[in-house]
Amino acid sequence: MKPYQWLALAAGVVGMLIPGYSWAQHSHGHGSGAGSMKMDTREVLVEGIKVTFQVMANAEHRKMLKDMKMKDDIEPGTTHNVTVVLTDPTTQKEITDAAVSMKVVDPLAKDQIKSLKYESSMKSYDAYFSMPEKGKYELLVLIKTGDQKRTAGINYELK
């Protein structure tokens, strides 16, 4: 076999061993119109669903909620809001009827697992997590739609 064939075969085997995990991550720094809001946004494509992760410090999230005249429901003892938007890439429509749970693994390998709450006005799923340490976090979601389960995840660097 030629070297590129070995690489393709290895990638296929890894893909079978880790079903549903997308290796394609796109990072975008998003903010409000003037760029005053700090939100880290990443997208992955997994088994026909575009999963968009948005991570925001609670102080920034509180400001956004106030600006949008929405209820401040920040959970005590947490530091960050994580929002997930599910989209059908062919129709560009949000998926609003999924059950989504998230596991956040911190730099010390401790984890937090929560069900994400669906916010109909934002067409997104979110929860608050404690991410107090600088370092690399893993954000993993389990998405249930109908009788299908999909997993997706990103690495998030808190600086």
| Residues 79-125: tens digit of each pLDDT | 999 999 999 999 999 999 999 999 999 999 999 999 999 999 889 99
* One-character DSSP codes across 81-147: EEEEEEEETTTTEEP-S-EEEEEEE-TTS-EEEEEPEEETTTTEEEEEE---SSEEEEEEEEEEETT
Per-residue b or e along 105-129, where b marks 16 or more CB atoms closer than 10 Å to that residue's CB? bbeeeeebebebebeeeeebbbbbb
- Token readout for 156 is 């998030």
Looking at domain 25-30+37-158, its CATH class is mainly beta
The overall pTM is greater than 0.75? yes
pLDDT at residue 72 in the model: 82
- Token readout for 27 is 């990072």
| 3-class secondary-structure state, position 70 | coil
Domain ranges of the chain: 25-30+37-158
Phi, psi of 150 (to 5 degrees): -130, 150
- For the stretch 51-77, pLDDT in tens is 999 999 999 999 988 998 888 889 999
Is the confidence at residue 13, as pLDDT, over 80? no
